[in-house]
A = this chain, B = another copy of it.
Amino acid sequence: MSGGPVSCPCHPSCEGPTADCDRTLTTPQRVFKGVRSAQEVVAALPLFDGILPDVLNRLLADSATITRRRSTLLFGAGDEADCFYIVLDGAVKLFALAQDGRESIVEIFGPGTSFAEAAMLSTGRFPLHAEVIEDATLIRVGRRAFLYTLHSDHALAYRMLAALVKWNRRLAGEISDLKELTPWQRVAEFLLAQTPATEGRVEVLLPFNKEVLASRVGIRRESLSRVLGRLRVLGVHTSGNAVQIDDVDLLRRACFEAGSGRN
């Protein structure tokens, strides 16, 4: 029930009206892969699977490819949701902000995923903040185009329904994990989710830094360090963003068998 890499629809996001944090394209080093590639990516989204070519074109006509550096705030909670985003490259985090300034990351989106479609359907406002955490190339799709697309292709609406359900389950699973798994189990699960391998030795690259990972699993940076230290006896070795798992199966079993011990 835990978070495998699931293609995630839903969740609000749109560059806030205040486009104050642009620094327009200061890093052309990270070039988006051209319009054709963008089309491919979009058509490959679970949400738009089987979309009609002309509908797709219409959709893309009201969209723009943008690049943003890390630390750029895409939008804040409460901003008007007049578009949604597709990630071509980089990573974006969605997070909530506590009154004291602390943030908790609800989800992180990487290449080939989209987010914030859902915000446009109900309140029209983003419920969460979105920030680029790895220099990113994004497609921003306008609300009008999206709604038009939705209405001109009913099958799309149903796919979106299904996608939301899937995303929903992912969240429900995460809630279960938070409630009944210890922090180290959550970390282990996260690591296991980073590789398709089911046994043997594997090297995985953390898709973001440890601060973010810690927030992702709901603990503090320092605790993550401790956890990774404790996982060493299970054959988990880290250096920087590289994590080597000596025996995937061993780790998974340890994770399961611990089962009971909540805290």
When the two chains form the complex, which single residue of B121, B162, B220 contacts A158, counting CB atoms closer than 8 Å?
B121
Residue in chain B with minimal CB distance to A256? B99
Q: Which B residues are in CB contact (< 8 Å) with A1?
A: 96, 127
Once A171-B171, A171-B172, A175-B174 are accepted as A-B contacts, the answer to whether A180 and B118 lie under 8 Å apart by CB is no
Complex: A183 Cα to B198 Cα, angstroms: 35
Residues of B contacting A164 in the complex (Cβ-Cβ under 8 angstroms): 10, 118, 161, 164-165, 168
- A262 interfacial contact with B, CB 8 Å: yes
Q: Which of A89-119 contact B (CB under 8 A)?
A: 96, 98-100, 102, 104, 106-107, 118-119
A76 to chain B, nearest CB (A): 14
The answer to whether A165 and B96 have CB atoms under 8 Å apart is: no
Assuming the contacts A157-B154, A162-B122, asked whether A104 and B10 have C-beta atoms less than 8 A apart, the reply is: no
**Do residues B180 and A104 form an inter-chain contact, with CB atoms below 8 A?**
yes
Known: A122-B166, A161-B157, A165-B122. A104 touches B11 (CB 8 A): no
Per-position binary interface string of chain A over residues 178-210, scored 1 when its CB falls under 8 Å from any chain B CB and 0 otherwise: 111000000000000000000000000000000
| With contact pairs A10-B165, A10-B168, A122-B165 given, residues A175 and B106 touching in the complex (Cβ less than 8 Å) | yes
Is B104's CB under 8 angstroms from A176's CB?
Answer: yes
Beta-carbon contacts under 8 Å, A56-84 to B: none
A172 touches B98 (CB 8 A): no
Beta-carbon contacts under 8 Å, A125-169 to B: 127-128, 150, 154, 157-158, 160-162, 164-169
CB of B157 within 8 A of CB of A127, answer no
C-alpha gap A259/B154 in the complex (Å): 44
Please tell me if the beta carbons of B259 and A96 are within 8 angstroms of each other in the complex.
Answer: no
For residue A235, CB closer than 8 A to chain B, the reply is no
| A154: contacting residue among B128, B154, B174, CB under 8 A | B154
27 contacts between A and B (CB under 8 A): A1-B96, A10-B168, A11-B172, A96-B176, A98-B176, A98-B180, A99-B256, A102-B259, A104-B175, A104-B176, A118-B168, A119-B165, A127-B172, A127-B173, A150-B158, A154-B154, A154-B157, A161-B161, A164-B164, A164-B165, A167-B168, A171-B171, A171-B172, A171-B175, A175-B175, A175-B178, A179-B218
